[in-house]
Amino acid sequence: MKFVRMTPSVNGKHEASPKPSGASAIAPKPTVFPQDHPRLSVRTLLYYASRYHLGSAAFLRWLLLLLGATGVVWATGWFPGHWWITALNLLLLIGVLALFHYWRRCDFVRFAATTPPALPAKILLPQEKVAVMVTGFFGVEKKYQRFTWLPGFYRSFATREHVLICQVRQQPWAWLGRWPEDEVGLWYIFCLPQDIRRIEWGQLAFGADIRPAIALTHRVTVTKPRRFRAEQIRDETAYIAFEHVASGEAIWADLQHDFPNGIPQTV
Protein backbone atom coordinates (compact mmCIF):
# COMPACT_ATOMS: atom_id res chain seq x y z
CA MET A 1 0.00 0.00 0.00
CA LYS A 2 1.36 3.38 -0.95
CA PHE A 3 1.38 6.07 1.74
CA VAL A 4 1.06 9.64 0.45
CA ARG A 5 2.97 12.10 2.61
CA MET A 6 1.14 15.33 3.40
CA THR A 7 3.85 16.93 5.56
CA PRO A 8 7.56 17.77 5.19
CA SER A 9 9.44 14.56 4.48
CA VAL A 10 12.50 12.88 3.11
CA ASN A 11 14.85 14.86 5.32
CA GLY A 12 15.10 18.43 4.23
CA LYS A 13 12.86 18.07 1.18
CA HIS A 14 9.24 19.16 1.08
CA GLU A 15 6.61 17.53 -1.03
CA ALA A 16 3.61 19.46 -2.29
CA SER A 17 0.15 18.39 -1.19
CA PRO A 18 -1.95 16.69 -3.86
CA LYS A 19 -4.12 19.09 -5.85
CA PRO A 20 -7.88 18.62 -5.48
CA SER A 21 -9.49 17.00 -8.50
CA GLY A 22 -12.98 17.15 -9.98
CA ALA A 23 -15.47 19.54 -8.42
CA SER A 24 -14.02 19.23 -4.93
CA ALA A 25 -11.99 22.19 -3.70
CA ILE A 26 -11.74 21.16 -0.05
CA ALA A 27 -8.14 21.19 1.13
CA PRO A 28 -6.98 18.06 2.98
CA LYS A 29 -6.80 18.46 6.75
CA PRO A 30 -3.15 18.63 7.83
CA THR A 31 -1.81 16.05 10.25
CA VAL A 32 -0.88 17.51 13.63
CA PHE A 33 1.84 15.54 15.35
CA PRO A 34 2.03 15.28 19.16
CA GLN A 35 4.23 17.69 21.08
CA ASP A 36 7.72 16.49 22.03
CA HIS A 37 8.82 18.58 25.00
CA PRO A 38 10.16 16.23 27.68
CA ARG A 39 11.10 17.63 31.06
CA LEU A 40 14.77 18.51 31.39
CA SER A 41 17.16 16.09 33.05
CA VAL A 42 20.81 15.12 32.63
CA ARG A 43 19.74 12.30 30.31
CA THR A 44 17.57 14.45 28.03
CA LEU A 45 20.17 17.24 27.99
CA LEU A 46 22.87 14.81 26.86
CA TYR A 47 20.65 13.36 24.14
CA TYR A 48 19.65 16.71 22.67
CA ALA A 49 23.19 18.08 23.05
CA SER A 50 24.37 15.18 20.88
CA ARG A 51 21.72 15.80 18.21
CA TYR A 52 21.38 19.58 17.93
CA HIS A 53 24.20 21.42 16.16
CA LEU A 54 25.82 24.78 16.72
CA GLY A 55 27.51 25.57 13.45
CA SER A 56 29.00 22.41 11.97
CA ALA A 57 29.28 20.39 15.19
CA ALA A 58 26.93 19.08 17.86
CA PHE A 59 26.62 20.91 21.17
CA LEU A 60 28.19 17.91 22.92
CA ARG A 61 31.37 18.21 20.87
CA TRP A 62 31.67 21.88 21.73
CA LEU A 63 31.23 21.04 25.42
CA LEU A 64 33.91 18.34 25.33
CA LEU A 65 36.24 20.66 23.43
CA LEU A 66 35.69 23.40 26.02
CA LEU A 67 36.39 21.04 28.94
CA GLY A 68 39.53 19.70 27.25
CA ALA A 69 40.83 23.15 26.30
CA THR A 70 40.20 24.54 29.80
CA GLY A 71 42.10 21.65 31.34
CA VAL A 72 45.05 22.18 29.01
CA VAL A 73 45.19 25.93 29.65
CA TRP A 74 45.09 25.51 33.44
CA ALA A 75 47.69 22.72 33.31
CA THR A 76 50.25 25.23 32.00
CA GLY A 77 50.38 26.80 35.48
CA TRP A 78 49.54 30.31 34.32
CA PHE A 79 46.53 30.50 36.64
CA PRO A 80 46.15 29.74 40.37
CA GLY A 81 44.89 26.32 41.43
CA HIS A 82 45.84 24.87 38.08
CA TRP A 83 46.05 21.23 39.16
CA TRP A 84 42.63 21.35 40.85
CA ILE A 85 40.99 22.94 37.82
CA THR A 86 42.75 20.55 35.45
CA ALA A 87 41.67 17.50 37.48
CA LEU A 88 38.09 18.78 37.74
CA ASN A 89 37.84 19.32 33.97
CA LEU A 90 39.31 15.90 33.29
CA LEU A 91 36.79 14.25 35.63
CA LEU A 92 33.91 16.17 34.05
CA LEU A 93 35.04 15.22 30.54
CA ILE A 94 35.35 11.53 31.45
CA GLY A 95 32.01 11.61 33.29
CA VAL A 96 30.13 13.20 30.40
CA LEU A 97 31.61 10.74 27.89
CA ALA A 98 30.87 7.75 30.14
CA LEU A 99 27.24 8.78 30.71
CA PHE A 100 26.72 9.53 27.03
CA HIS A 101 28.03 6.17 25.80
CA TYR A 102 26.19 4.28 28.55
CA TRP A 103 22.82 5.90 27.82
CA ARG A 104 23.29 5.79 24.05
CA ARG A 105 23.40 1.97 24.20
CA CYS A 106 19.74 1.99 25.31
CA ASP A 107 18.68 5.00 23.19
CA PHE A 108 18.60 7.18 26.33
CA VAL A 109 15.43 5.50 27.64
CA ARG A 110 14.66 2.93 30.34
CA PHE A 111 11.91 0.33 29.85
CA ALA A 112 10.39 -1.72 32.68
CA ALA A 113 8.03 -4.55 31.71
CA THR A 114 4.75 -4.98 33.61
CA THR A 115 1.71 -7.25 33.36
CA PRO A 116 -0.02 -6.71 29.99
CA PRO A 117 -3.75 -5.95 29.79
CA ALA A 118 -6.17 -8.79 29.08
CA LEU A 119 -7.91 -7.54 25.95
CA PRO A 120 -9.71 -9.21 23.06
CA ALA A 121 -8.23 -8.76 19.61
CA LYS A 122 -9.58 -5.72 17.77
CA ILE A 123 -8.05 -4.36 14.57
CA LEU A 124 -7.50 -0.71 13.85
CA LEU A 125 -8.99 0.44 10.58
CA PRO A 126 -6.46 1.68 7.99
CA GLN A 127 -7.65 5.27 8.39
CA GLU A 128 -7.27 5.18 12.18
CA LYS A 129 -4.09 6.38 13.85
CA VAL A 130 -2.90 6.50 17.45
CA ALA A 131 -0.68 9.34 18.72
CA VAL A 132 2.55 8.03 20.24
CA MET A 133 6.15 8.92 21.12
CA VAL A 134 8.60 6.49 19.53
CA THR A 135 12.19 5.52 20.28
CA GLY A 136 14.18 3.19 18.05
CA PHE A 137 15.75 2.53 14.66
CA PHE A 138 14.09 4.48 11.83
CA GLY A 139 14.48 4.49 8.08
CA VAL A 140 13.49 6.50 5.02
CA GLU A 141 14.59 5.83 1.43
CA LYS A 142 17.54 3.60 2.42
CA LYS A 143 18.69 6.07 5.05
CA TYR A 144 18.74 4.93 8.68
CA GLN A 145 19.00 6.72 11.98
CA ARG A 146 18.30 6.17 15.67
CA PHE A 147 15.99 8.65 17.39
CA THR A 148 14.57 9.05 20.87
CA TRP A 149 11.11 10.30 21.84
CA LEU A 150 9.97 11.26 18.35
CA PRO A 151 6.31 12.35 18.04
CA GLY A 152 4.29 10.28 15.62
CA PHE A 153 1.44 7.89 14.94
CA TYR A 154 0.85 4.14 14.94
CA ARG A 155 -1.17 2.79 12.01
CA SER A 156 -2.03 -0.58 10.48
CA PHE A 157 -2.72 -1.07 6.80
CA ALA A 158 -5.25 -3.47 5.30
CA THR A 159 -2.31 -5.82 4.55
CA ARG A 160 -1.68 -5.93 8.34
CA GLU A 161 1.62 -4.15 7.92
CA HIS A 162 2.16 -1.90 10.93
CA VAL A 163 3.90 1.45 10.64
CA LEU A 164 5.16 4.11 13.02
CA ILE A 165 5.20 7.47 11.23
CA CYS A 166 7.26 10.05 13.12
CA GLN A 167 8.48 13.56 12.51
CA VAL A 168 11.71 15.41 13.25
CA ARG A 169 10.86 19.09 13.57
CA GLN A 170 13.24 21.95 12.90
CA GLN A 171 13.02 23.98 16.07
CA PRO A 172 15.70 25.91 17.99
CA TRP A 173 17.30 24.42 21.09
CA ALA A 174 19.05 26.56 23.71
CA TRP A 175 18.23 29.53 21.41
CA LEU A 176 21.07 28.65 19.05
CA GLY A 177 21.07 24.95 18.23
CA ARG A 178 19.47 23.53 15.11
CA TRP A 179 18.69 19.99 14.03
CA PRO A 180 20.74 18.84 10.98
CA GLU A 181 18.68 19.63 7.89
CA ASP A 182 19.21 16.18 6.36
CA GLU A 183 17.40 14.63 9.34
CA VAL A 184 14.37 16.96 9.35
CA GLY A 185 11.15 15.41 8.06
CA LEU A 186 9.31 12.10 8.32
CA TRP A 187 10.90 8.85 9.47
CA TYR A 188 9.32 5.39 9.54
CA ILE A 189 9.39 2.02 11.25
CA PHE A 190 7.58 -0.69 9.25
CA CYS A 191 6.76 -4.08 10.68
CA LEU A 192 4.98 -7.14 9.26
CA PRO A 193 3.41 -9.70 11.63
CA GLN A 194 5.91 -12.39 10.62
CA ASP A 195 8.78 -10.09 11.60
CA ILE A 196 7.58 -9.60 15.19
CA ARG A 197 9.78 -11.40 17.72
CA ARG A 198 8.60 -10.05 21.05
CA ILE A 199 5.98 -7.66 22.44
CA GLU A 200 6.03 -6.35 26.01
CA TRP A 201 3.81 -4.00 27.97
CA GLY A 202 5.39 -1.70 30.52
CA GLN A 203 6.61 1.80 31.31
CA LEU A 204 9.14 3.90 29.45
CA ALA A 205 11.22 6.61 31.09
CA PHE A 206 12.98 9.35 29.18
CA GLY A 207 14.60 11.43 31.86
CA ALA A 208 11.86 12.66 34.20
CA ASP A 209 9.07 11.66 31.80
CA ILE A 210 7.51 8.25 32.48
CA ARG A 211 4.71 6.90 30.30
CA PRO A 212 3.00 3.57 29.67
CA ALA A 213 4.57 1.93 26.66
CA ILE A 214 4.90 -1.10 24.42
CA ALA A 215 8.29 -2.57 23.49
CA LEU A 216 8.05 -4.11 20.03
CA THR A 217 11.03 -6.23 18.97
CA HIS A 218 11.00 -7.05 15.28
CA ARG A 219 13.25 -8.26 12.48
CA VAL A 220 14.77 -5.48 10.37
CA THR A 221 16.45 -5.73 6.97
CA VAL A 222 18.94 -2.91 6.44
CA THR A 223 19.67 -2.23 2.78
CA LYS A 224 23.20 -1.01 2.27
CA PRO A 225 23.58 1.98 -0.08
CA ARG A 226 26.59 0.50 -1.83
CA ARG A 227 25.82 -1.77 -4.72
CA PHE A 228 27.69 -4.99 -3.89
CA ARG A 229 27.29 -5.07 -0.10
CA ALA A 230 24.95 -7.68 1.37
CA GLU A 231 21.81 -6.72 3.27
CA GLN A 232 22.02 -6.84 7.05
CA ILE A 233 19.26 -8.57 9.00
CA ARG A 234 18.96 -7.99 12.74
CA ASP A 235 16.44 -7.55 15.55
CA GLU A 236 15.54 -4.04 16.72
CA THR A 237 13.26 -2.87 19.52
CA ALA A 238 10.89 0.06 18.99
CA TYR A 239 9.59 1.65 22.19
CA ILE A 240 6.09 3.04 21.69
CA ALA A 241 5.04 5.38 24.51
CA PHE A 242 1.60 6.94 24.85
CA GLU A 243 0.02 9.55 27.06
CA HIS A 244 -3.22 7.65 27.70
CA VAL A 245 -3.49 3.97 28.58
CA ALA A 246 -6.48 3.64 26.22
CA SER A 247 -4.19 4.50 23.29
CA GLY A 248 -1.80 1.71 24.20
CA GLU A 249 -4.64 -0.74 24.69
CA ALA A 250 -5.85 0.00 21.15
CA ILE A 251 -2.36 -0.79 19.80
CA TRP A 252 -2.07 -3.92 21.96
CA ALA A 253 -5.47 -5.21 20.79
CA ASP A 254 -4.56 -4.51 17.17
CA LEU A 255 -1.27 -6.44 17.46
CA GLN A 256 -3.07 -9.28 19.22
CA HIS A 257 -5.18 -9.81 16.11
CA ASP A 258 -2.06 -11.09 14.30
CA PHE A 259 -1.46 -13.76 16.94
CA PRO A 260 -4.56 -15.88 17.61
CA ASN A 261 -2.46 -18.24 19.75
CA GLY A 262 -1.17 -15.42 21.92
CA ILE A 263 1.22 -12.50 21.54
CA PRO A 264 4.87 -13.65 21.57
CA GLN A 265 6.71 -12.83 24.79
CA THR A 266 10.08 -14.42 24.04
CA VAL A 267 12.49 -14.11 21.15
Domain boundary among 85, 104, 123: 104
Domain boundary among 104, 123, 144: 104
Q: Which range has the top average pLDDT, 11-15, 82-86, 89-93, 191-195?
A: 191-195
**Do 211 and 180 fall within a single domain?**
yes
Range of the domain at 50: 42-104
Residue-level pLDDT at 231: 78
Average pLDDT over residues 211-215: 97
Q: pLDDT tens digits, residue range 100-148?
A: 999 999 999 999 999 999 999 999 999 999 999 999 999 998 899 999 9
Q: Is residue 3 part of a domain?
A: no
**Do 145 and 78 fall within a single domain?**
no
**Residue 257 pLDDT level (bands cut at 50, 70, 90):** very high
Residue-level pLDDT at 164: 98
**Do 195 and 76 fall within a single domain?**
no
**Do 185 and 64 fall within a single domain?**
no
Q: Is residue 15 part of a domain?
A: no
CA–CA separation, 200 vs 215, rounded Å? Answer: 5
Q: 237 vs 24, which has greater pLDDT?
A: 237
**Do 158 and 187 fall within a single domain?**
yes
Q: Is residue 131 part of a domain?
A: yes
Q: Is residue 178 part of a domain?
A: yes
Domain boundary among 74, 104, 134: 104
Q: Is residue 116 part of a domain?
A: yes
Residue-level pLDDT at 1: 35
| Count of domains for the chain | 2
**Do 96 and 205 fall within a single domain?**
no
Average pLDDT over residues 60-69: 90
Q: Is residue 47 part of a domain?
A: yes
Work out the number of other CB atoms within 10 angstroms of the CB of residue 101: 9
Q: pLDDT tens digits, residue range 137-188?
A: 999 988 999 999 999 999 999 999 999 999 999 887 767 789 999 999 999 9
Residue-level pLDDT at 17: 38
Q: Is residue 200 part of a domain?
A: yes
Average pLDDT over residues 246-264: 88
